Amino acid sequence: MTPLAKLLEAALFASGRPLPASELAALDPTASADELAGALDEMRDRYDIEGHGIELVELGGGWQILTRPEYTETIERAQLATRPARLSAAALETLAIIAYRQPIGRAEIEEIRGVAVGGMLRTLLERGLIDVLGRAEGLGRPLLYGTTPVFLEQFALRHLGELPRADELAVALRAQPRAL
Amino acid sequence: MTTMLAPLDSGAAPFVVELEHFSGPLDLLLTLIREEQVEIADIPIARICEQFLLRIDTLGLGEAAEYLEMAAGLLRIKVQMLLPRRGDDEEWDDPRAELVRRLLEYQQMREVVDILQHRGEDRRDRFARGYLPLPPVAPLAPLALSLPELLAAVDRVLRISREPLMHDVISRALDVDSAIDTILSVLAHRGHAWWRDVVADDAAPWQILSALLALLELARRSELRLVQQRPFANVEILRDAASEAA
């Protein structure tokens, strides 16, 4: 591997979180963006072609070294690492609404879901998937929520733009009921 | 409402689903609409409403206020649909419109949930190098300093600080009584004296304080009067007229 690829590999190994391109670039100020991309490609190809137990994945706004899925069961059974608990359908619904409508207040979420979401918000906050972005101007200045980088990472998204746009979804909001 | 107690299918086992099966009334409604295989925009309210009430009962969802609220909303729409409309030329608002809008919005959101679920599963199957908290602020590197540098620094500090001023604090009792005697003896000869006459120029602080307290005490006893023309002026001591008369 080239010295740059080795440097990036060491940095990605040392960091537990995805490293964005800006942080990787800071490791070697002399390297151009093309050289960085080339080094990342080289590293990924090396893992894939030589058949490593780990792979280089782009997600959460950066790059991260992850284990390959085929070893997950065995690793978890040996209690070396634990998969994060699955989110309930209700929590996922709440998260999806926040991802699309952020910054969004609690009342708005409840209007879409048709149920109270106070407990859901607490769970999502505790797991670091959402955060308070600020307060709305309106009555009572309600808290506004938005998604965090942890959300992108745990759902293997490079950025929010990777979610389909609202008008790309099969059912568009514009659809009108047909008159009888 | 008695009809909803009728079994769904007399031949089948009782239909039991946990509350968690549905994430909310909209979810249940959407499921019913799918089962009925009708268009969201064309909900047969009467049938869906009946089904909804039936499910609420079978699932024991009666406790959940949101489900009851939705049921009430469905009944309201059903009633509105039954009301006769006026002339066809008049604009008619489908009472289902708002419900349809909410259902479509909800369905769209469910689609996103599917995507998130899929991606989340994908990511759950891979381990990173452990979830680490944000990188800690690196501690300062140990001070790189040689012994001569340290000694030179100590030397500089010692040079800057001069010989320290030392004080011996000796407690000395004030002698107000003898000061009173002195003042009275001075006044015995002359009816009028100055502060300077009762306190020597080289008097120690304890002597000055004793004299001051003695003067104040005598003034209190009305044995003399103290007069000061202006602030910081010499204090004039006058034998009190009253005591003189006595």
pLDDT digits (tens, 9 = 90+) for A117-127: 888 899 899 99
**Whether residue B11 has pLDDT greater than 60:** no
Query: What pLDDT shows up at residue B145?
Result: 80
Q: What are phi and psi of B231, to 5 degrees?
A: -55, 140
Query: What pLDDT shows up at residue B144?
Result: 77
**Whether residue B160 has pLDDT greater than 60:** yes
Per-residue pLDDT tens digits for A66-81: 999 999 999 888 888 8
**Whether residue B64 has pLDDT greater than 80:** no
Rg of chain B over Cα atoms, rounded to whole angstroms, equals 52
Query: What pLDDT shows up at residue B6?
Result: 41
Nearest alpha carbon to residue A6 among A39, A45, A49? A39
- The answer to whether residue B117 neighbours chain A at the CB level (below 8 Å) is yes
Q: Which residues neighbour A17 within 8 Å (Cβ) at sequence distance 6 or greater?
A: A60, A62, A64, A149, A153, B128, B132
Among B33-42, B162-171, B192-201, B202-211, the range scoring the smallest mean pLDDT is: B162-171
Calculate mean pLDDT across residues B139-148: 77
Please check whether residue B66 is in contact with residue A115, taking contact to mean a CB–CB distance below 8 angstroms: yes
> Which chain B residue lies closest to A165 (C-alpha atoms)?
B112
Of A4-13, A129-138, B132-141, highest mean pLDDT = A4-13
* Nearest-angstrom CA–CA distance, A98 and A146: 6
**Whether residue B7 has pLDDT greater than 50:** no
Residue B79 burial (C-beta neighbours within 10 Å; 0-12, 13-18, 19+): exposed
Query: What pLDDT shows up at residue A170?
Result: 60
Chain A partners within 8 Å of B39 (Cβ): 178
Query: What pLDDT shows up at residue A102?
Result: 85
Residue B5 burial (C-beta neighbours within 10 Å; 0-12, 13-18, 19+): exposed
Calculate mean pLDDT across residues B53-61: 74
Q: Is the dihedral of CA A166, A172, A176, A177 positive or negative?
A: negative
Residue A30 confidence class, pLDDT cut points 50, 70, 90: very high
Percent of chain B at pLDDT > 70 equals 77
Number of CB pairs, chain A paired with chain B, less than 8 A apart: 136
Per-residue pLDDT tens digits for B18-43: 445 677 888 888 888 888 777 777 77
Count CA within 13 A, CB hemisphere, residue B184.
15
Residue B225 confidence class, pLDDT cut points 50, 70, 90: confident
Chain center to CA of B158 = 47
Residue B128 confidence class, pLDDT cut points 50, 70, 90: confident
- The answer to whether residue B107 neighbours chain A at the CB level (below 8 Å) is yes
**Whether residue A37 has pLDDT greater than 60:** yes
Q: Of B115 and B58, which is predicted with more confidence? A: B115
Query: What pLDDT shows up at residue B158?
Result: 82
Note whether B24 contacts A17, CB cutoff 8 Å: no
Q: What angle do CA A67, A164, B24 make, to 5 degrees?
A: 90
Query: What pLDDT shows up at residue B15?
Result: 41
Per-residue pLDDT tens digits for A18-28: 899 999 999 99
Give long-range contacts, CB 8 A cutoff, 24+ apart: B150-154. none
* Nearest-angstrom CA–CA distance, A114 and A124: 18
Query: What pLDDT shows up at residue A55?
Result: 93
Chain A partners within 8 Å of B20 (Cβ): 88
**Whether residue A174 has pLDDT greater than 50:** no
Query: What pLDDT shows up at residue B131?
Result: 52
Q: Which residues neighbour A8 within 8 Å (Cβ) at sequence distance 6 or greater?
A: A24, A27, A36, A39, A40, A43, A63
Query: What pLDDT shows up at residue A45?
Result: 93
**Whether residue B8 has pLDDT greater than 50:** no
Probe site for chain B from A80, A115, A117 (most B CB atoms < 10 A) = A115
How close does chain A come to B164, measured CA to CA in Å? 53
Please check whether residue A59 is in contact with residue A156, taking contact to mean a CB–CB distance below 8 angstroms: yes
Note whether B131 contacts A16, CB cutoff 8 Å: yes
Residue B134 confidence class, pLDDT cut points 50, 70, 90: low
Chain B partners within 8 Å of A174 (Cβ): none
Question: Considering only residues 138 to 167 of chain B, which have any Cβ-Cβ distance to chain A shorter than 8 Å?
Answer: none
Calculate mean pLDDT across residues A140-162: 88
Chain A partners within 8 Å of B97 (Cβ): 177
Calculate mean pLDDT across residues B213-228: 87
Residue A88 confidence class, pLDDT cut points 50, 70, 90: confident
Write down the pTM of the prediction. 0.58
Query: What pLDDT shows up at residue B246?
Result: 43
Percent of chain B at pLDDT > 90 equals 0
* Nearest-angstrom CA–CA distance, A154 and A81: 15
Note whether A156 contacts B107, CB cutoff 8 Å: no
Query: What pLDDT shows up at residue A48?
Result: 92
The 10 Å Cβ neighbour count of residue A146 is 17
* Nearest-angstrom CA–CA distance, B98 and B41: 10
Please check whether residue A67 is in contact with residue B127, taking contact to mean a CB–CB distance below 8 angstroms: yes
Nearest neighbour of B125 by CB, restricted to A59, A72, A116? A72
**Whether residue B60 has pLDDT greater than 70:** no
Query: What pLDDT shows up at residue B138?
Result: 66
Residue B86 confidence class, pLDDT cut points 50, 70, 90: low
Element of type H or E holding B148: helix B147-160
Question: What DSSP state is assigned to residue A159?
Answer: S
Calculate mean pLDDT across residues B225-233: 82
Q: Of B167 and A40, which is predicted with more confidence? A: A40
